[in-house]
Amino acid sequence: MTRRPTTRPTRTRARRALTAAVLAGVTTSLLAGCGLQPAAAFVPAAAPGSIKQVEGLPEDAALTVTSKNFTEQLVLGKIAVLAATAAGFDVTDETNVPGSVAVRQLMTSHDADMTYEYTGTAWLTFMAHKEGIPDKTEQWQAVKDEDAGNGLTWLAPAPMNNTYAFAVREEAVEDLGGITKLSQIADLPAEDRTFCVESEFNSRADGFKPMLEQYGLTLGGSGEDAIPKGNVDILDTGTVYTATDRGTCNFGEVFTTDGRIKSLGLSVLEDDRGFFPAYNVAPVLSTSTLERYPQLEGVFDQISPELTDPVLQELNRQVDVEGREPADVAFDWMVAEGFITKP
């Protein structure tokens, strides 16, 4: 059980008001089809493993962890709560906050100490840049540098990159010439260039049409590079996965760490011309908190290298497909990796 401190002298009236407003919006029943699940503000009891209790840590050392309210963020938030608890911190669990903006406000106001955030989200949404940076390292460095001015420190990113991609059902790969890369779509006959996309991606300035153009294809027309408009199905978010699996289209728009990729047996195509921006996740901490407890960097640096696309696909699958609680999924993975132990 994560202990909640009875007093937090550094917490202001503004923080309490913001937190109350944020948590008031959390519902107990969320749409599982959108990847949203309820999360209680507790996790199973955890003992140190490879994450050791920080030596000389003050008894009142406290850490507030926050996250957004979709499946992957809930799992990552619980991983952070478990890690900080094993390291000896008195953790306030403020995961399951509705919306990116609310989480960002908690971090920039320093009313929360730590979250897992995506480089692309910070760069494009919070920092309002018009274009993302496909190179993962360059995108992380750019975000790290800019957020330093906001009193936030980005630790080393994880390999997982929750960005847009296109996937094909595995049983169709060989029928499509053993396709593994987006650039190979141009080599297929026009009748095989069929797509399922959600409406937002279809209309985005950095979405479907410019992606096709980068790969030498044109939406509409009748030339050798054409994608006939009748080859494109515009579907609701989430329906794309099942439609792709059923063969409604050969290529479906997905997010690379979605658990349905694994459960439905879809194969993600390589973005070999680097169209999609990087959305690597990284631990983000209040700089003042990290200066007070520099050992936190070592705690989270242990975890990040193990957070890969396949790992998050599996953890997300356990929540969205099997219906497990994010806290239990995070706990079992942390124990299996040896980061923590059962008390």
Q: Which amino acid is at 176?
A: L
> Order of strands, edge to edge, in the sheet holding 164-169?
232-235, 195-198, 251-255, 164-169, 266-268
Q: What is the pLDDT of residue 6?
A: 29
**Burial (Cβ within 10 Å: 0-12, 13-18, ≥19) of residue 307:** buried
Residue that wins the pLDDT comparison between 310 and 31: 310
Asked if the model's pLDDT at residue 4 lies above 60, the reply is: no
Assess whether 238 and 326 both reside in one domain.
no
What pLDDT, on a 0 to 100 scale, did the predictor assign at position 40? 53
pLDDT higher than threshold 80 for residue 124: yes
CA 319/CA 39 separation, integer angstroms: 11
Residue 156 and residue 86 in one domain:
yes
What is the rounded distance in angstroms from the CA atom of residue 236 to the CA atom of residue 17?
A: 36
Give the tens place of pLDDT for each residue, 70-96.
999 999 999 999 999 999 999 999 999
The C-alpha angle 283, 40, 295, rounded to 5 degrees, equals 30
Is residue 38 classed as helix, strand or coil in its secondary structure?
A: coil
Decide if pLDDT at 326 tops 90. Answer: yes
In a domain, 119, yes or no: yes
Question: Is 126 a domain residue?
Answer: yes
Q: Which of 237, 268, 299 is the last residue of a domain?
A: 268
Q: Are strands 90-97 and 232-235 parallel, antiparallel or unpaired?
A: unpaired
Last residue of a domain, one of 238, 268, 298: 268
pLDDT at 30: 33
**Pair 258, 309 in one domain:** no
Residues with Cβ < 8 Å from 64, sequence gap 6 or more? 91, 92, 94, 111, 112, 113, 114
- Are both 312 and 196 inside the same structural domain? no
The upper half-sphere exposure of residue 266, i.e. CA atoms within 13 Å in the direction of its Cβ, equals 31
Based on the domain organization, do 152 and 168 belong to the same domain?
Answer: no
Q: Are both 254 and 199 inside the same structural domain?
A: yes
CA 143 to chain centre: 16
Q: Which of 249, 268, 287 is the last residue of a domain?
A: 268
Q: According to the model, what pLDDT value does residue 42 have? A: 73
Look at residue 241 and tell me if it is in a domain: yes
The number of folded domains in the chain is 2
Is residue 20 situated within a structural domain?
no
Whether residue 141 is found in the same domain as residue 155: yes
Mean pLDDT of the chain: 88
For the cut 50, the answer to whether the pLDDT of residue 112 exceeds it is: yes
Answer yes or no: is 52 within a domain. Answer: yes
Q: Are residues 47 and 157 in the same domain?
A: yes
The yes-or-no verdict on residue 21 having pLDDT over 70 is: no
| pLDDT the model gives residue 238 | 81
**What CATH number is given to the structural domain containing 244?**
3.40.190.120
pLDDT of residue 41: 65
Contact present, 226 and 220 (Cβ < 8 Å): yes
Residue 134 has pLDDT above 50, yes or no: yes
- Do residue 254 and residue 157 come from a single domain? no
Q: How many CB atoms lie within 10 A of CB 52?
A: 13
Q: Quote the percentage of the chain above a pLDDT of 70.
A: 88
Lowest mean pLDDT among 9-23, 143-157, 256-270: 9-23
Residues 138 and 168 reside in one and the same domain: no
Within a domain: 14: no
Predicted confidence band at 32 (pLDDT cuts at 50, 70, 90)?
very low
Task: Report, as an integer, the average pLDDT of 12-23.
Answer: 40
Sequence length of the chain is 343
Q: Which 3 state secondary structure label does DSSP give 250? A: coil
Whether the per-residue pLDDT at 267 is higher than 50: the answer is yes
What is the tens place of the pLDDT at every residue in 290-300? Answer: 999 999 999 99
pLDDT tens-digit map of 247-265: 999 999 999 999 999 999 9
Query: Using one digit for the tens of pLDDT, what is the confidence trace for 183-215?
Result: 999 999 999 999 999 998 998 877 899 999 999
Is 98 among the domain residues? Answer: yes
Q: Are both 150 and 284 inside the same structural domain?
A: yes
CATH of residue 134? 3.40.190.10
Q: Rounded mean pLDDT of 123-141? A: 94
Residues 150 and 52 in one domain: yes
**Domain housing 238:** 164-268
Domain membership of residue 27 (yes or no) is no
Position 1 scores a pLDDT of 33
Q: Which residue has the higher pLDDT, 15 or 81?
A: 81
**DSSP code string of 148-215:** GGGTEEE-PPPS-B--EEEEEEGGGTGGGTS--BGGGGGGS-GGG--EEEEHHHHH-TTSHHHHHHHT
